[in-house]
A and B are shown apart, each in its own frame.
Chain A
Amino acid sequence: MRSQISERYLPEKDSQACGLFGVMNTTGERFGGEMAINAMINMKVRGNGLGGGFAIYGLYPEYKDYYALHIMFERHQLGAKEIVDEFLADHFHVVYDEEIPTNKKATVLNPPVVWRYFVSPRQYMEEGNNLSDDEFVVEKVMYINTRIDGAYVFSSGKDMGVFKGVGFPEEIADYFMLDRLYKGYIWTAHSRFPTNTPGWWGGAHPFSILDWTVVHNGEISSYGTNRRYLEMFGYYCTLYTDTEVMAYAVDLLMRRQGLPIEVVSRIFAAPMWDIIEHMEPERRELYKTLRMAYAPLLMNGPFTVIVAHHNEMFGLTDRIRLRPITAAAAGDFVFLSSEEASIRAVAPRLDLAWTPPGGEPVVARLHTKDHLASLARAV
């Protein structure tokens, strides 16, 4: 008896190219979606209408102590909602829930029902459960995603949310009325150009677990190696996309193992051995050890990624810079984008715009000027 089905039967990975955009107000002031939406319109050619999405931080200040679950239900499987409702009632205190309002006139195909729940974990003492609340939520989200057919959790963090679907980003924004209804201090956005056509709303970006979101452009050639390593730590990839691997790797290294992004970026986009050789002894030892210990999490092949969580947004491109990223700053705003043009389209008066080199993260943090650190090493 084989304990697990052979990897031979795993679905083929989805490959795609994309447009990315992220904007953050480093004072934490909340702003509307116009910049993110218009930037995506400017980069329309980077997508093909098969996926678009947005992540917004500082979204639900009135419910900021509760996990906000955005859950989609396929219209032909609405029975899934009853199962999910029951499951949530068993494991959480649901303080409020509602269908996410949508614009019925919007031009999107086949939208699912998307519901939001504000919940707090209901951990039973008798279970001897000593999971942290975060771990508890991750476990339940994984359960819904892998076990309940027809339901999929878009996002599960506090005071943030993901809106995504099949269509161009501006169509998705119109459908969820993002420009009219919501404000946040970080907006990240994604436009998708898949080489196959899953046509599934859950497959669009951003990908999210807890308050982490990832938008990603690229094809990770090391996918198989990365996925297998993550499986050892309990992350089972169900969507077979590079982005999922990236999201879980971020969660493992940053949330569970507590490594700062400056370190994590050296794991995902490790410097070449030749460069490590020429570092001063202390740095050499650090970089050597990081590369040795986390070799299976080296993200090989072209990628650009914008990761966000509370208080922080960062962009990173692969170590030989096979996908584009541009960073810019204007007043309190920090921008990251696949294209400089899209930044200039929404913020004509920039203080600075620069091209970070491969493997060099641009980190924007609340109430800091950390993003300028990458400027010194810009191309």
Chain B
Amino acid sequence: MFSHLLPEFLVERRSDRCIKCRVCERQCPNGVHHYDTELDLMFSDESPCVGCQRCVVFCPTNALSVYPHPTTYRPNASWTREKLQDLKKQAETGGVILTGSGNDKPYRIYWDHLVLNASQVTNPSIDPLREPMELRTYLGRKPDTLEVEVCGDKVSITSRLSPNVPVETPILFSAMSYGAISYQAFVSLAMAAKEFGTLFNTGEGGLPREMREKFGQNAIVQCASGRFGVDPEYLNSAAVVEIKIGQGAKPGIGGHLPGEKVAANIALTRMIPEGTDALSPAPQHDIYSIEDLSMLIYALKEATNYEKPVSVKIAAVHNVAAIASGIVRAGADIVAIDGLRGGTGAAPKAIRDNVGIPIELALAAVDRRLREEGIRHKCSIIAASGVRCSADVIKAIALGADAVYIGSAALVAMGCTLCQKCYTGKCAWGICTQDPYLTRRLNPEIASQRLVNLLRGWSHEIKEMLGGMGINAIESLRGNREHLRGVGLEGWELDVLGVKGAGE
């Protein structure tokens, strides 16, 4: 069928600069660039271009520019170019439109409508370069009371404590499975988490055996609906075990890793035959209710001898607060909430762009509900989706999170440009692909250094902001709405966030 689609990007080559080195041709996995040996000229076919900017970055003479294609339909506020293109695509294929990374629609980003406080006069601000400033956070269930025995000068704790896991900064790497991302990208996340003293999340694709000893203590291992790679050694090698119920980018639906990506090592890690599709069902088929969840939580605790916190990750949906409360009562030590802008390797676009609620509102609602029920201390809350900078992290903590997960931000640090073509398996940056020609591009030594730099930079900024507020330990900001004010928000939104308007 002849395609009616317009190209998405325009590739412009300045012939006065091009030296025909063919770097762009080698770098592009989509076949945009082509060298004609007879004419000794470089040509471009822009129609397959995804705008990932790999060729632009690698062109040694800055001869290339890639930008959104100026060709448009008659402008129409309702029937936008994107809507028309999607519609035509479906008319040509009859399929579900797939996409990658997070929701890119202009839903209100509450982070950008919240401002932070700082000390003036009545309370000194603290300079983190001169005074200690503490970001260490313990994830897990805290006791109602601590029983102690005092014997002269000696105080000893007699309460039984639940396991808690420390992180040196309240920033964790979100679940991205080996299979969805390349081995190199996966190892880079693990290396960075280990170096900085935080955690990475294996996603549902298992933890390769050779990584367990070295990186297990920095791993959150997932037990998801497909149960890929779950065995006792996997669970016991980790710091935290996470039950994945849902994902912000695609609440209510499962996953599908196509067989062509299931190479030998992925097959071994996931414990499935090589070349078979790895299908994750939409629900966990042994969890159709909250009591079923409780049974799985305790099954995992039994399997790990009650030595590891168990986390439950859910997508932020309409009644997220009640669900989170049920999860804590079911025995979870950590509740991870993934909001509307959470990323994905592949999801139906209709779901990614339309299902779920923003994390800021979900987080505030969950924190409030758990406090009202007197169980907030029984779990840690990890907030995920659309955390783009240190200010987003600190605002999330003031709204009640113990820590945040970053996924997209970590990928961007490694090279990702959010071209949203993760599902094609042709990531030019070597992140979201299993093609050895492409994955070789990602050097884990360098990529992990970029990730560590990111964590370091953000942590410094968080310390500066905390110090400005006159706080020298992150736990004193947790849920502390007094340090937030809303700008440009409506009354109901401020109510849900529990935040006053600026000047109030």
CB distance from A32 to the nearest CB of B (A): 35
Complex: how many Å from CA A6 to CA B481?
11
CB distance from B375 to the nearest CB of A (A): 8
CB distance from B254 to the nearest CB of A (A): 34
Complex: how many Å from CA A301 to CA B124?
8
Complex: how many Å from CA A13 to CA B480?
13
- Asked if B6 is an interface residue, CB under 8 A from chain A, the answer is no
Report yes or no: A294 in contact with B470, Cβ–Cβ below 8 A: no
Q: Which residue of chain A lies nearest to B135 when distances are taken between CB atoms in the complex?
A: A273
Which of chain A's residues have a CB closer than 8 A to the CB of B472? 300, 319-320
Complex: how many Å from CA A255 to CA B240?
36
Q: Which residue of chain B lies nearest to A13 when distances are taken between CB atoms in the complex?
A: B482
Known A263-B155, A300-B473: A273·B374 in contact at CB below 8 Å: no
Report yes or no: A295 in contact with B475, Cβ–Cβ below 8 A: yes
Q: Which of A1-44 contact B (CB under 8 A)?
A: 2-4, 6-8, 12-13, 15-17
Report yes or no: A289 in contact with B161, Cβ–Cβ below 8 A: yes
Report yes or no: A232 in contact with B476, Cβ–Cβ below 8 A: no
Report yes or no: A219 in contact with B157, Cβ–Cβ below 8 A: no
- Asked if A223 is an interface residue, CB under 8 A from chain B, the answer is yes
Report yes or no: B469 in contact with A296, Cβ–Cβ below 8 A: no
Q: Which of B217-244 contact A (CB under 8 A)?
A: none
- Asked if A302 is an interface residue, CB under 8 A from chain B, the answer is yes
- Asked if A376 is an interface residue, CB under 8 A from chain B, the answer is no
- Asked if A231 is an interface residue, CB under 8 A from chain B, the answer is yes
Cβ-neighbour of B476 out of A4, A8, A13, A222 (below 8 A): A222
Report yes or no: B476 in contact with A300, Cβ–Cβ below 8 A: yes
Q: Which of A225-280 contact B (CB under 8 A)?
A: 225, 228-229, 231-233, 257, 259-260, 262-263, 270, 272-274
Complex: how many Å from CA A285 to CA B476?
21
Report yes or no: A223 in contact with B475, Cβ–Cβ below 8 A: no
Which of chain B's residues have a CB closer than 8 A to the CB of A259? 146, 148
Query: Size of chain A's interface in residues, with CB distance under 8 A?
Result: 50
Complex: how many Å from CA A285 to CA B161?
12
Which of chain B's residues have a CB closer than 8 A to the CB of A218? 123
Report yes or no: A15 in contact with B122, Cβ–Cβ below 8 A: yes
Cβ-neighbour of B157 out of A7, A233, A286 (below 8 A): A286
Total A-B Cβ pairs within 8 A: 133
Cβ-neighbour of B377 out of A17, A229, A282, A322 (below 8 A): A229
Complex: how many Å from CA A294 to CA B395?
22
Report yes or no: B498 in contact with A293, Cβ–Cβ below 8 A: no
Which of chain A's residues have a CB closer than 8 A to the CB of B500? 8, 12
Q: Residue-by-residue, is B348-378 near A (CB-CB < 8 Å gives 1, otherwise 0)? A: 0000000000000000000010011011110
Which of chain B's residues have a CB closer than 8 A to the CB of A223? 480, 482
Complex: how many Å from CA A319 to CA B480?
20
Which of chain B's residues have a CB closer than 8 A to the CB of A2? 495
Report yes or no: B476 in contact with A225, Cβ–Cβ below 8 A: yes
Q: Residue-by-residue, is A191-208 near B (CB-CB < 8 Å gives 1, otherwise 0)? A: 000010000000000000
- Asked if B119 is an interface residue, CB under 8 A from chain A, the answer is yes
Q: Which of B45-53, B126-134, B297-305, B426-434 contacts A (4 or more CB under 8 A)?
A: B126-134
Can you list 24 A-B contacts with CB-CB less than 8 angstroms, sorted by A residue number? A6-B498, A7-B498, A8-B495, A8-B500, A221-B123, A221-B470, A221-B483, A224-B479, A224-B481, A229-B377, A257-B145, A260-B155, A262-B155, A272-B134, A285-B157, A286-B155, A289-B146, A293-B146, A295-B478, A296-B478, A298-B473, A300-B470, A300-B472, A301-B471
By Cβ-Cβ distance, the 7 closest A-B pairs, closest first, are A222-B476, A300-B476, A224-B480, A295-B475, A7-B498, A6-B495, A224-B482
Query: A195-B121, A270-B473 are known contacts; what are 12 more A-B pairs with Cβ within 8 Å?
Result: A4-B372, A7-B481, A8-B494, A221-B483, A228-B479, A229-B377, A263-B155, A272-B132, A286-B157, A295-B142, A296-B479, A300-B476
Chain B residues in the interface with A (C-beta under 8 A): 119, 121-124, 126, 131-132, 134, 136, 138, 142-143, 145-146, 148, 150, 155-157, 161, 164, 368, 371-372, 374-377, 469-473, 475-483, 494-501, 504
